[in-house]
Amino acid sequence: MKTKFILITMLLCIFSSFAEAQKDAKARELLDKTAAIIDNEKGVEIKFDIASIVNKQQQNKIQGCISIKKNKFFLQLPSSKTWFDGKTQWTYLPENEEVNLSTPTPEELQSINPYSFIYLYKNGYNYQYAGSKKYNGKNVSEIKLKAQSPNNTIQTVILYVNNYNYQPIYIKMEDKNKNCNTINVLSIKKDINLRDNQFVFNKAQYPNAEIIDLR
């Protein structure tokens, strides 16, 4: 019995060490500091360009802007505008003059909000600090996140964090179908006092839009 107890204790130590290796302290420190910038009480506005990689072929880059306040966001892309107030989502498609109204799942939000990575590492993901490097003339730290389950919508994330101010510089996200999005951050404005109604669709501003309720 004593030998069996020792073996069990050794195995528990090994598995505990392995788990800690999958979530190293350096990566956690950087992720916490980066998340604190995005997860801002007053609000933050981020301008970026984003490109999709489908079947290993990069699509054209497009520019976008997202305003975030805690779990709310307003995303502007050339082909759409999306409001999310923490529960309800409105997506306006100007080409069709329609608004799709829905209650997205957490998984759906991950594919819509390009900054969903700030919450990923807190549950269901391992993360590793991958060293320091240069990116667009800036000194950055590379962090790699990997989903613990093959069923997660987002399977891997590569994040470059500015070593000076901990702002995200570059994000690459790959989903379970091996499709990727790459994001380059162009600018970040913090503490901009966003109002809650900025995350709700205003019908008066789009009087001709048809609202399609998908809930």
pLDDT score at 12: 37
CA–CA gap between residue 114 and residue 110 (Å, rounded): 7
CA dihedral 22, 156, 165, 48 (to 10 degrees): -170
Residue holding tokens 């209650």?
Answer: 103
Residue type, 34: T
State yes or no: pLDDT of 3 exceeds 60. no
- DSSP state letters, 9-64: HHHHHHHHHHHHHHB-HHHHHHHHHHHHHHS-SS-EEEEEEEEEEETTEEPPPEEE
Per-residue pLDDT tens over the stretch 103-156: 988 777 766 776 666 667 777 888 999 999 999 999 999 999 998 888 888 888
Which tens digit of pLDDT belongs to each residue from 77-108? 999 999 999 899 999 999 989 999 999 887 77
Say what the pLDDT of residue 51 is.
Answer: 87
- Look up the CATH number of domain 24-213: 2.50.20.10
Q: Give the H/E segment covering residue 3.
A: helix 2-22
The helix/strand/coil state of 134 is strand
Report helix, strand or coil for 4: helix
Alpha carbon separation from 164 to 34, 140, 189 (Å, rounded): 11, 8, 16
- In this prediction, residue 123 carries a pLDDT of 79
Label residue 37 by pLDDT band (50, 70, 90): confident
